Amino acid sequence: MYQEKEDYQSWICDKCQKELELTKVKVHYLEGEFEVELLNCPTCHQVFINESLALGKMAEVEQGLEDK
């Protein structure tokens, strides 16, 4: 699961005013931990997940985990 490079070129952290970077972050859901590439502020480390990723691939993975 990842965000395409062209999807994040202009995103800026509102708090820090730094350009977001695509980095590997750990996502926790239920009892699982997954390492994925997401947009992340290099200063405050706030993670940004765009709507298409949240409603698409992440929703599919969430449903698959809940069905187990």
pTM of the prediction? 0.61
d(CA 19, CA 28): 24
Top-level CATH class of 5-67? alpha beta
| Confidence label for 17 from pLDDT (cuts 50, 70 and 90) | very high
Token pair in block for residue 60: 């599919």
Contacts (Cβ under 8 Å, ≥6 apart) of 11: 19, 20, 39, 48
Return the ∠ at Cα 39 (arms to 49 and 51), rounded to 5°. 20
Report the length, in residues, of the chain.
Answer: 68
* pLDDT value at residue 43: 97
Residue 50, classed as helix, strand or coil, is coil
Query: What's the pLDDT at 1?
Result: 42
Bigger pLDDT: 51 or 58? Answer: 51
Higher pLDDT, 1 or 16: 16
The per-residue pLDDT for 35 is 84
